[in-house]
Structure 1
């Protein structure tokens, strides 16, 4: 089945569970108008004080189409995001195994949000040892023939996906945080991440 997925920054675990389903033919949306406060330019990790949002700042130059959106580098966000990720996960079971690859996400130089997200996706696929194929949309289609997931994953509401608890660095202190960025799963589950993703169900 054809699935139209939004193109996210270090997507949540639920996104990857749909992306990696063998029966899904994945198309990534790049021509939609950019909706604010979504995972297109943010991800959630588990910091020492709980859920922490990392947000890529956008250049407000009047452009609204995702493919044309430009990243703002005024805030040195790459360095800040990597520092936050390292602080959050450096004591997790698998961080050191993937540290160099994850750091490479933030050394990629582009002012295009789409290019940055696609490069990050390539690195995550490499870590997960999967070569799932996908294509990019070539125009905006309001009524997609297939399953339209563009509004499926909310950064503001609880995830509708059912996931088993797994050990997280701070879960002893604050409990399990569901459906964080794929980085959380990778750092805590390592090679078992792919199996975990395949067992996720929608409620």
Structure 2
């Protein structure tokens, strides 16, 4: 029996996140009970711009408790981050080959207000898997277990410092490649907007 792949829920995860999913043929389990770790891809993604990488960070509601489960993290709408993120995405990718093809799929995430960060991530993940034509059974963790021997555990592997889960083996054309060179480890939308239906072949 194939082991489950245990993953954190990220904001528009990078290409290597989907490489891990695509190359793992079994089911996926999303961790929802871990204490929310700061400065990770759980609230940030990176896109490619004319000036290199740009971090887009979702603000969250900070409570009185230091340790809050990921499933209980709420999104903060005190500032217009949705409008700013969407403007940044438009600026970065409006000249890419497939931005207009996918634009209507992603715009709702910058119009609708999700209460919980995890709900936002899960709905995005479902969309991204559908666009990439990757079919996987997805479940949610039932409790937090620090060390799991029966599953492939990538919860702590993909961080802004470690960059990726798997190396990006297949560079692809990027909008600003002539200026910045190929920039690896960007959000999966960088691959989708540049390669469209061919994106899966780069995983």
Residues 123-175 of structure 1: CA distance to partner in whole angstroms, max 9, x if unpaired?
22232233322101111111112211001112124435132221101110110
Deviation at 1:118, TM superposition (A): 0.6
Distance 2:128 2:94 in 1: 18
Residue matched to 1:201: none
Q: How does 1:32-181 map to 2 (within 5 A)?
A: 32-63=34-65, 64-144=68-148, 145-159=150-164, 161-181=167-187
CA contact (8 A) 1:105 1:123 kept: no
Instruction: Name the SS of the counterpart of 1:162 in structure 2.
Output: coil
Distance 1:105 1:127 in 2: 15
C-alpha distance 156-183 of structure 1, shift in aligned 2 (>3 A): same
Q: Count matched residues.
A: 197
C-alpha distance 105-128 of structure 1, shift in aligned 2 (>3 A): farther
Residue matched to 2:23: 21
Distance 1:117 1:62 in 2: 24
Distance 1:187 1:69 in 2: 29
Residue matched to 1:2: 4
Distance 2:96 2:126 in 1: 23
TM value normalised by structure 1:
0.92
Distance 2:113 2:75 in 1: 10
The alignment yields a C-alpha RMSD, in angstroms, of 1.4
Instruction: Name the SS of the counterpart of 1:51 in structure 2.
Output: strand
Moved over 4 A (4+): none
Instruction: Name the SS of the counterpart of 2:23 in structure 1.
Output: coil
Distance 2:61 2:32 in 1: 17
Moved more, 158-167 or 92-101: 158-167
Distance 2:132 2:112 in 1: 19
Instruction: Name the SS of the counterpart of 1:52 in structure 2.
Output: strand
TM value normalised by structure 2:
0.92
Moved more, 119-128 or 52-61: 119-128
Residues 183-203 of structure 1: CA distance to partner in whole angstroms, max 9, x if unpaired?
000001111111111xxxxxx
